[in-house]
Amino acid sequence: MRLRRRVRPRVGAGALTVAAVLLGSGCTSSAETEDPGAPRPGTLRVLASSELVDMEPVLDQVEERTGIKIRPTYMGTLDAVSLLAKNTTDGRYDALWLSSNDYLHLRPDAARKVVSETPVMTSPVAIGVKTTTVRRLGWKPQEVTWSQVEQAVRDGRLTYGMTDPARSNSGFSALISVASGLSGAQSALTEADVAKATPRLKEFFKGQKLTSGSSGWLAAAYGRRGTVDALINYESMLTPMKDLTVIRPRDGVVTADYPLTSLAATGQDTRDTVRRVADALRTPEIQDEITRSTFRRPVVTSVPPSDALDTGRRRELPFPGSRSVADGLLDSYENKLRRPSRTVYVLDTSGSMEGDRIERLKAALADLTGDFRDREEVTLMPFGSDVKSVRTHVVDPADPRAGLDAIRGDTDALSADGDTAIFTSLQKAYGHLGTGPDTFTSIVLMTDGENTAGAKASEFDDFYQGLPAAQREIPVFPILFGDSDRDELEHIAELTGGRLFDAQKGSLDGAFEEIRGYQ
């Protein structure tokens, strides 16, 4: 879900990123170009929220019971709503299975695409706090409120990670929960509630030190860095993590209910198949397996939740009642509340990029420019046999167009020549960033070939290990493109704590846009 300055607020129609998120796979592909396949008898093509990858063993059991094979395509929840609204799901998918349909119902262009929905399980937003931190703060988990969390952040005693609300429904639900708690809203958030909460939200988000486009990478980054005290995510994602005390703040949270949903474009036979799968998922045996294996809560009252889940009652917060409130809250988060981003784009402009490839790179970057946030620092570092130039621009809230136009101008001037000095260029990117200000800092590497000049992989490894600890927390997000070497780029991502994105199977602009959730 991305704000296009030239179009409308970030959650507006046509503004969602179109990129499939394959949790834990280490690569992605554009959902616009990925074909879920032609319909097959006994098979259900399901557009599903990315975190539901952990349900595949359960779906195997459903197939054994019903003979129906479920073929999921995983994607961010808000991205899927955009596809639905743009009429690109008709004939490609048979059903929708998102963490929530709440945002969908705020968009008439998407809401009219669905005809029935059956909740399958639930998981509330929660905050998982290191047990040692809970003791240090003197918290009683059953009594903690969002105001207490904000006060701990304000006092410099708590830092946390959270997924990007612009791309992740867990992040969006967390944002709604915090805004409701800090505003004291007694019903669905209004614009007045958001305005009332904004000063405290600014303080709250000073504590966010990790961001991510997916819950899986967020958990991995938390484990790798060990420098934040807590994570805000769905309860089901936090419960399996060691040394975290899972807290559902007393003043309320938003809960995902995972409705299996029939699409209006399908026929009655397909809808009957969806109903059969929903019925199978709601049998006591499958509900018990769901809660034990995924830590989501059953919707069948006769089935108790996993022993690992707190059974205390908590206030359930409603989703905003209007799209304008949802849009406004998200736009405020992206451009005012969160820490700004600082990114170096290390761009292969070697001779092999001549022709169509360099033009595709220019088009993807030009399109991406409309997604840059207020206060964001963007550095373009094109390279061939060595780094060709280093051009840095800041999107000034007082005059954002000046920075964006400058980025577009530098993009248009890119030209292809020389060899491919990947590792030398990465070293210079780290040198440019230094320790830097308090920002979400990252490096994006796009290359269409193997390293053929400058430093070798082993030399970069030694260089990286010799960096100060703060710089070793700067991840590199490589993009597979053209003839690039997957093993080489996977090594860079693994070494630096980044993630590999695949533009060979999908699209280059889709890969760039998906990385935005990690910046």
Q: Domain of 413: which CATH number? A: 3.40.50.410
pLDDT digits (tens, 9 = 90+) for 177-228: 999 999 999 899 999 999 999 999 999 999 999 999 888 788 888 988 888 9
Domain match, 184 and 104 both: no
Domain match, 221 and 101 both: no
Domain holding 103: CATH number?
A: 3.40.190.10
Query: Both tokens of residue 294?
Result: 């995924």
- What does the alpha-carbon distance between residue 446 and residue 349 come to, in Å, rounded to a whole number? 9
Amino acid at position 111, single letter: A
| Residue 34 within a domain | no
| Residue 89 within a domain | yes
Domain match, 127 and 113 both: no
| Residue 26 within a domain | no
Domain match, 362 and 421 both: yes
- Cβ–Cβ < 8 Å for 323, 188: no
Residue 166's closest CA among 210, 212, 208?
Answer: 212
pLDDT digits (tens, 9 = 90+) for 234-267: 999 999 998 999 999 999 999 999 999 999 999 9
**Which residue intervals of 345-474 are DSSP H helices?**
356-369, 400-412, 422-433, 457-465, 469-472
CB-based contacts of 134, cutoff 8 Å, min separation 6? 141, 245, 247
pLDDT digits (tens, 9 = 90+) for 370-380: 889 999 999 99
Confidence band, pLDDT 50/70/90 cuts, at residue 142 = very high
Domain match, 392 and 475 both: yes
Domain match, 114 and 127 both: no
Domain match, 145 and 289 both: no
Domain boundary residue among 334, 362, 384? 334
pTM as predicted:
0.87
| Residue 1 within a domain | no
Domain match, 456 and 350 both: yes
Domain match, 197 and 280 both: no
Domain match, 179 and 267 both: no
| Residue 461 within a domain | yes
Tell me what the pLDDT averaged over the chain comes to: 90
Three-state secondary-structure class, residue 235? helix
Residue 101: φ, ψ to 5°: -100, 10
Domain match, 344 and 208 both: no
Domain match, 397 and 507 both: yes
Strands (E) across 120-207 are located at 121-130, 160-163
The pLDDT value given to residue 35:
61
Domain span holding position 408:
340-518
How many domains does the chain divide into?
Answer: 3
Query: Both tokens of residue 119?
Result: 């909740």
| Residue 309 within a domain | no
| Residue 47 within a domain | yes
